[in-house]
Amino acid sequence: MGRKAREERQERREDVVAKRTQAKRKTMLMAGGILALIAVIVGYASFVFITQVDTTGALGAPPGAGKLGDEHVHSSLLVRIFGDKFDFSVPSYQIKNSWIHFEDSDGTTIHRHSTGVTLGFLFDSLNIGIDDKCFVFPDGRQFCTNEDYSLKYYINHQPVSDIRDYIFEDGDRILISFGSETPDEIEDQLFELDAQIIKG
């Protein structure tokens, strides 16, 4: 009986050792696979980063922009569609890129952090379409100049035909208005725009 018990104990030990060895091998294989996967991801990310750097040395830089941070200027914007104020203070319109944006839940002050960045780039980053005739919401609703209503742009009280290529200066005030406003109603909107605080 003593011999049989010893043999059973020996078999149990061997089983335990075999199971531990197998578990260690499985753990090592999994760790090796995970490390290999991490190496592939890091390598791919490095490749993408290196190949997508543009001529200014920054990813996602607007065409013609200077170095990020080489300027920090502010402008005030008011958008009225049929008299209703468009709200850029909601999170979906805040800091969509580092170059030009709204921030701190403020929907009236535009921050531009580089030379050469246009208003068109701002609206593109917000998924809002603008041109000389139409203002297009992200959900696809379009407000286009027709025989009854018109899209109007004003920069510092001066009417302009389009603002896509405009690079604002510090303190500029920009009005976008769509509807059938009278000159007096436009003056009221410009007065409202002038009253907006430009936050730095």
The rounded mean pLDDT for the chain is 88
- Tell me whether residue 30 is in a domain: yes
Give, as one character, the DSSP assignment of residue 195. Answer: H
Same domain? 48 vs 136: no
Residue 58 placed within a domain? no
Report pLDDT for 70.
93
* Domains in the chain, number: 2
Overall average pLDDT of the 134-145 stretch: 95
Judge if 31 and 115 occupy the same domain: no
Report d(CA 124, CA 138) in Å as an integer.
10
**111: Cβ contacts below 8 Å, ≥ 6 apart:** 72, 73, 74, 100, 101, 102, 103
- 28 and 80, same domain (yes or no): no
**pLDDT average, residue stretch 74-82:** 97
Q: Count of residues for the chain?
A: 200
Say if residue 32 is in the same domain as residue 117. no
Residue 168 DSSP one-character state: P
- Please tell me whether residues 124 and 178 are part of one structural domain: yes
Nearest to 200 by CA among 123, 112, 141: 112
Q: Has residue 16 been placed in a domain?
A: yes
Whether residues 48 and 78 fall in one domain: no
pTM of the model: 0.70
Residue 10 in any domain: the answer is yes
Is the residue at 66 inside a domain?
no
- Both 45 and 8 in one domain: the answer is yes
Residues 81 and 165 in one domain: yes
Report the range of poorest mean pLDDT among 2-6, 26-30, 165-169: 2-6
Angle at 157 between CA 155 and CA 159, to 5 degrees: 65
Full residue range of the structural domain in which residue 155 is found: 73-195
Do 90 and 35 share a structural domain? no
| Rounded CA separation 177/158 (Å) | 13
Residue 67 maps to a domain: no
Q: For 44-53, write each residue's pLDDT tens digit.
A: 776 665 544 4
16 and 113: one domain?
no
Distance between CA 161 and CA 142 in Å, rounded? 18
**Same-domain pairing of 127 and 86:** yes
Q: Identify whether 62 is part of a domain.
A: no
Query: Mind listing the pLDDT tens digit for each residue in 22-44?
Result: 878 888 888 777 887 887 787 77
83 with 181, same domain: the answer is yes
In this predicted structure, what is the pLDDT of residue 13?
72
Alpha helices per DSSP H over the chain:
2-52, 119-125, 183-195
- Choose among 18, 2, 120: nearest CA to 63: 120
* Domain annotation covers residue 107: yes
Q: Look at residue 176 in the predicted model and tell me its pLDDT.
A: 98
